Structure 1
Amino acid sequence: MKKMSGLLSRQNVQEKLYRNLKDRLQNFMHSQEENPVFAKALKQHKESLIRRERLLVPVTTTASLSNIVAFYAYLSKDVPSPSGHHILTFDNVITNAGNAYHPHSGTFIAPRSGFYVFTWTIRIFGTAHHSTELLVNNNVAGSTYLDPANTIDGSVTGTVVVHVDQGDDVLVRTLDRYYRGDIISRFEGRSSFAGWALA
């Protein structure tokens, strides 16, 4: 009990010191308001604090986190010599908000209608060359092609903004022509597939 009263007494002393210091600082600031150099420095300091507060305050949006639809997955290993119309199953899922991407089939099934962004990257090298396409319900929405001509280890990325209806399937597959060799996905460069709903 004695310790508690000692702590409370110290707290009271600290609070008095804080109030005293705060009052003195406010009095000093009021006395300097006529000083143009001080006024300018004070204004800049206040603006800086406001900017910092804006960065620290989370942005509020009308959409709740439960409404977010977004996914990102990549191939966990190389795909050896896929044939034409081979669906690429990007099996290592990093993000799957809304659980609409299905890694076993490589298919995104739209949980709601709206505009979506889809992007996919295919990595190849050597004598391999591949053309891939993004399908929405078996309709081609975009395609890519890369032939490194045995001179580079490279990748190609396709991006599509498209309206998708609820229940539509979206996937990436090889074309029925312009395919040869392996599609590569390793730690130094991944073949990947991602998508998200626009507000």
Structure 2
Amino acid sequence: MMTGFKTHKSDMHFSFFFVISTLSLCVQSYQGLRIKSLEERILHLEKMIQQNCACEKERKITHGKVLMGETLIKANLNKRVKRTTGLQQIKRNSYMCAFSSILSKDLPNTGRTQTIVFDHVITNTGNAYNRHTGIFHAPSNGIFAFSWTMNSEKINGHFELMHNSKIITAISTELTNLEIGTTSATMVLQLKRNDVVFIRTDHIYGKTNIVSNVLMRSSFSGWQIF
């Protein structure tokens, strides 16, 4: 009986040791698998972080290149705009003109269609007005304004504004009971380059006595609007 009990007790000890050993191996195996899984996840995360860092670095480089490109484009555009504006301004300044001229003395006994030569120039920016002929030459295409004042004595004066060979308008001095009459007008014309504008006596009556002295000047002015 005692021998049987000892054998049974020894078997129980062996079984318990076997179970403990098995559980220990299982735990170690499970821990090893968990550690390996964690290591793999850590490696995967490290790769993702490296990839994200590389992408972020590339994005920053690309963004910097884009910004640099935009800056260069803007700079080039600004240069072109300034250059174009400067050229336009130079061109505009080279074409812009204005003049104002008066008769330096009386002009009696005029004939028909006689060009009035306003010989004393006050202003002639652009040199488009010729004081020797009384004719304005348009330096460029554009819109121009013209203003003129005429004085006549004893005989009513009739005067025409000419655009090339075309009569644009006519004005007259009405003396009535006065010995001297005066009249003036302003016109805006669209001209082409080399068009001419001038004042002349009318083509019907023509004859008059134009007055221009220190008390009242006959004058002719013009300027480019744009």
TM-score, length-scaled by structure 2: 0.57
1:72, 1:95 within 8 Å by CA — same for their partners in 2?
yes
Q: Distance in 2 between matches of 1:150 and 1:81?
A: 20
The match for 2:104 among 76, 100, 104 is 76
Q: Distance in 2 between matches of 1:120 and 1:143?
A: 11
Quick check: 1:102 aligned with 2:133?
A: no
Aligned to 1:116: 144
What letter corresponds to residue 147 of structure 2 in structure 1? T
Aligned to 1:42: none
Q: Residues 65-101 of structure 1, C-alpha deviation per residue, up to 9 Å, x if partnerless?
A: 5443100000001111101100000000000000000
Aligned to 1:174: 201
2:104, 2:118 within 8 Å by CA — same for their partners in 1?
yes
Alpha-carbon RMSD across the aligned residues, in angstroms, is 1.6
Quick check: 1:86 aligned with 2:114?
A: yes
Q: Distance in 1 between matches of 2:140 and 2:210?
A: 32
Task: Determine which structure has more spread, i.e. the larger CA radius of gyration.
Answer: 2
TM-score, length-scaled by structure 1: 0.65
SS at match of 2:176: coil
Aligned to 2:222: 195
2:112, 2:207 within 8 Å by CA — same for their partners in 1?
no
Q: Which has the higher strand share?
A: 1
Q: Distance in 2 between matches of 1:72 and 1:63?
A: 24
User: 1:36-51 alignment to 2 at 5 Å?
Assistant: none
Post-superposition offset of 1:152: 4.9
- Which runs of no fewer than 5 residues in structure 2 stay unpaired? 1-87
Post-superposition offset of 1:161: 0.6
Q: Distance in 1 between matches of 2:209 and 2:109?
A: 5
- Which runs of no fewer than 5 residues in structure 1 stay unpaired? 1-61
SS at match of 1:129: coil
